[in-house]
Amino acid sequence: MKLNRVDVDLGPRSYPVLIGNGVISELGEIVREQGLKQTAAFVLTNSQVGGKHFAKVRRALEKVAFTRVVRHNIPSVESGKSWKNLEKTCKKLLQEFPDTGSVPLIFLLGGGVVGDLGGFAAGIFRRGVAFVQLPTSLLAAVDSSVGGKVAVNFSGVKNILGIFNQPRLVVCDLALLQTLDERQLRSGASEVIKYGAVCRGSLFEELEAGGLRKLMARDPHTLADVVHQSVEIKARVVEQDEFDKKGIRNVLNFGHTIGHGLELSAYNPDANASEAPTHGEAIAMGMVAATHLAIKLGMVDETFDRRLRGLLAVAGLPATMREFRAQQAGTDYPDLHNRIIRAMQMDKKFRDGKNVFVLPTGIGSWRQVENVDWGLVNEAVRVVLE
């Protein structure tokens, strides 16, 4: 069993990220090799992913003497990451494992919604039980499964209720990513482009030189390389600023300030989910908006914008809502501009009433800027709503 390993060095909270192809069948042995001795498991997933992969997980755990494997589903869409579903998950945990002698090892089998909500539940159930991330989307593999930020959305604000809770282990089976639909693959590619744009210029150049096209074609070698590089980048950032207190971890928010506002504001619970941008699609537009701010502030030239938009086009990601509507046959959203601004003003990243943006200064570099003129922010939002 060949596994690439990236260690996240956080002292007593350290853990490995293990990346391989077709390794889900060896999950039990991997868990035991990492010193996890539980014999009961709680697998949080969703109906789509669980239908494809839960049986494989259960068989792998039963091979190493897991005597009880319980499955619980939550919705896969962003609206599923709610306090209500967190409560349901904790209730299921308590029903199935009511005493201290039956505390399970929690497995989070899915994308970012499962990982975020499940990591939060693991952190508060019995004041904390061990959990393992099993990312099944590219976005979760390269980003949300690593770093320990776990949360739910509440009262229209994304990730406003949450904690820091590191997993004991992350196992990324690249074979599971082969079953992703094209839109989810694109969504994950958005985070990969982010890493190249502000963290590692060499990755950006690799993507421009054909790597992104190979990634979108699910080339196994490229997929392994991109996941490894992305996890390595995030691990090094998290090691320097685990609890997001030093400003270093802010680099991971490039495109997320306006992107999160767009993601939440365009969501309509009464409409088809395809009519709202996915996380990655919203972040793609958020990166374009942030780049517009950087150009206006003289931090970067328009070459950066052209190169960024070029990669977004290769990935099939929208740079504006006009492009998104053309791709998804999406509808118009009443008062979307003002809703985005209101959502941003509640952003948890803002401090003492000051807005905070991560802006590029060149390919692979960035700077945090506070108190950007709100007139300019409104202009940047209009750029991506055109």
What are the pLDDT digits (tens) for 55-78? 999 999 999 999 999 999 999 988
pLDDT of residue 330: 59
pLDDT of residue 328: 80
CA 175 to chain centroid: 19
**Tokens encoding 278:** 């996915």
Segments of the chain with pLDDT less than 50: 270
pLDDT of residue 343: 84
Domain 4-177 CATH assignment equals 1.10.287.70:
no
* 320 backbone dihedrals φ, ψ, rounded to 5°: -140, 165
pLDDT of residue 233: 98
pLDDT of residue 32: 98
Number of other residues whose CB lies within 10 A of the CB of residue 270: 4
Helix ranges restricted to H, 157-200? 174-177, 182-198
The angle subtended at Cα 122 by Cα 117 and Cα 127, nearest 5°, is 130
Q: Is the pTM of this model over 0.85?
A: yes
**CA separation for the pair 320, 174 (Å, rounded):** 30
pLDDT of residue 39: 96
The architecture of the domain spanning 188-385 is: Up-down Bundle (1.20)
For 199-222, the pLDDT digits (tens) are 999 999 999 999 999 999 999 999
pLDDT of residue 102: 84
- The residues, ordered by sequence, that sit 6+ positions from 51 with a Cβ below 8 Å of its Cβ are none
pLDDT of residue 265: 83
Decide: 280 and 188 in contact? Cβ < 8 Å: yes
pLDDT of residue 324: 93
For 321-362, the pLDDT digits (tens) are 999 988 886 566 778 999 898 888 877 677 677 899 999 999
Tell me the domain boundaries of the chain. 4-177, 188-385
